[in-house]
Structure 1
């Protein structure tokens, strides 16, 4: 995909809130987001507002273990290390002690992201000053070098769950918007990169349905589908079979129907082998959803759907293949949010499947 659909900042913000399950946390920040002209200004504003809320609650603290050479005893003396390092000659001892500190990964990631975001050249001047002022409150917190593990090692509980949205923003900036190059140079992408937008698109649609479809009528999940493996055959290399993990599955418990939705964040739903050919659906996408609906063990009517973002053309295609319906539809992410909402509800309530 070489060109992404043009999505208004407001709609990206809504998608982020759904994808991160932070819509409730963000309700007080949605008003006025139309004024932002780029994603960095929007995220900077949300960061400032979110960190101000953190300060009112108090920064998250944890116990950390330290082993230091001290003049006064603190905690427990490590006799072996004290003797080995000859600390007594300096009238000191090696002590092991715990400290309840706010210099922990959650706050270190926040400070590091603040410092990076401040460097964005097109950042609004007022927002930049707010970020700088906000960073002053992190004076006793270290900056760190962010890696993939910085986010995967975070553990949430009831005492730090309010960090969730801010950590997601930091992760989005790290993976989707900011590219570290050689040395300390930083390159800022103009838009969220396509790999991250594809993940965002999928999670947004899944969590939208989890929030808005009545639980008594629908089961919304993203299960794995098992291969129809014959138990009578001596298979070799089963461990190499790829997983069939669905994006979104809507099961209508009243009508006993299942809709398997595969989201595709592509520039177009069509592909060409050469310029003279007529537009055709991307074959690999069609084969994938066809495999899903034929491998599902759901006891009831099963339908598959490819859901693309609109990029110049709306699609409402329908096929009956091997007795099962496959739909190809588009969602216009550049339209008013109310239209996006209505379109997704309309898709969920299709009664033909």
Structure 2
């Protein structure tokens, strides 16, 4: 038993140290093969005509790239690749055959994005319609939450798909929790339904790119039919979104990519770790440049130590969220990012950094660092 636990720990250490770097301006065949191997089940789905994922520009059909980041080439032409009513695997095979790797990569991730958004969108619709009937959805909410945490969000984080709709739903149930015991929404609540509608609107342009789950209006459906659809959607998301134990990805090649203070030619997606200067908290610097710095290049304060962090913390252009209270840092005053010392976990907002123990590793907080990027 102990030996098996040791093997498991070593496996996770090995997996954590692995590095996959994808340059969005230079997608390779290896990048596509990696996606195909990681998400084999979704490769079987059929793609539908879609105004967002298959849009016209100057009489040509294009695919949006990249789903949550600005890149030099923000769209790629389909150039004769048949998409509508085609199996995703066959579409990607055609892309590989014609060496359209950027298109193949974008289509796979767009399919993943649309599947996840469609599931969240239809749950919001399900919750709204059930609330109109004064029906309790607490058990369905537990299943939905489990699928979000174990299926959708790990994949969205790994593939760098925007979590904004997920965070919207999270905030809705956080806001309304105090009004109901155990999230038992068993009476009509106009504000609750209105808040869910806002979340739906965040996703409406990106849903139903795939043939399943099927597009159905839940308006005025019976409670039994609503439950049947939601249960079917749970099954679909569990079957299609399977993911291996691969590492997070470092993404490069998009506009406004954060550069090392020591050398603007170095980007965090191309290196293993980045360094924050102590005690001032400015950063960041890559391992290639840190040996050249005795003073902080920003404030010229003497560097006495370093804090090592993963590149993903800084490459992602999305708003930072506190790992303790889950509020966006920008909404907390003062809107500053902190990491807890000595563990180095973050981000914490200016209020939660005063916690006695780290939310992630539970180590005692000895000090804190305000990071200035």
TM-score (norm 2): 0.27
Bigger Rg over Cα = 1
TM-score (norm 1): 0.28
Hey, which of these two has a bigger chunk of strand by percent?
1
